[in-house]
């Protein structure tokens, strides 16, 4: 899907990890898209992607779309990622199984 997406818009993934950690993680999953680090910034909080998990601050996955308007960059839409979202087609496949997703969540590694 990346080729289709970048034909229409710029695309990057932002995380609080250092660039080195991002590189290693991306290589392990075969990711080819641009990654940027927001480590040490308020970006995730400003965008509403920090919540709470088990009483501790936690990063929430999601996507935002931005548009440049002159010298300003404006967020025009956003949504979160999670079970059943429209961005990971595996949920549609799991929905066809007799037991559905049955509590499945993505893993960091399948090896």
Q: What's the CA gap between 87 and 66, in Å, rounded?
A: 18
pLDDT at 24: 93
| 99 contacts: CB under 8 Å, gap ≥ 6 | none
Once rounded to an integer, what is the mean pLDDT over residues 3-16? 93
pLDDT tens digit sequence for 13-71: 999 999 999 999 999 888 999 999 999 999 999 999 988 888 888 888 899 999 999 99
> In terms of pLDDT, which residue wins out, 85 or 11?
11
Element holding 14 (H helix, E strand)? strand 12-15
Q: What's the CA gap between 45 and 56, in Å, rounded?
A: 14
pLDDT at 8: 93
> In terms of pLDDT, which residue wins out, 86 or 49?
49
Backbone angles phi, psi at 89, to 5 degrees: -65, -10
Say if residue 96's pLDDT is above 90.
yes
pLDDT at 27: 92
Q: Give the distance from CA 54 to its chain's centroid.
A: 21
pLDDT at 106: 79
- The answer to whether 61 touches 40, Cβ cutoff 8 Å, is no
Once rounded to an integer, what is the mean pLDDT over residues 89-106? 88
What is the secondary structure of 52-101 as a DSSP string? EETTEEEE--EEEEEEEETTEEEEEEEEE--TT-TT-THHHHHHHSTTTT
Q: Which of 5-19, 56-70, 83-97 has the lowest mean pLDDT?
A: 83-97
């Amino acid at each position: 899907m990346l080729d289709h997406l970048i034909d229409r818009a710029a695309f990057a993934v932002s995380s609080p990890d250092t660039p080195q950690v991002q590189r290693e993680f991306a290589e392990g999953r075969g990711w080819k898209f641009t990654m940027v680090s927001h480590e040490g910034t308020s970006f995730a909080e400003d965008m509403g992607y920090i919540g709470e998990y088990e009483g501790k601050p936690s990063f929430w996955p999601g996507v935002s779309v931005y548009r440049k308007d002159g010298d300003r960059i404006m967020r025009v839409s956003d949504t979160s990622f999670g079970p059943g979202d429209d961005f990971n087609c595996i949920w549609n496949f799991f929905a066809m199984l007799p037991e559905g997703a049955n509590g499945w969540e993505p893993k960091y590694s399948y090896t």
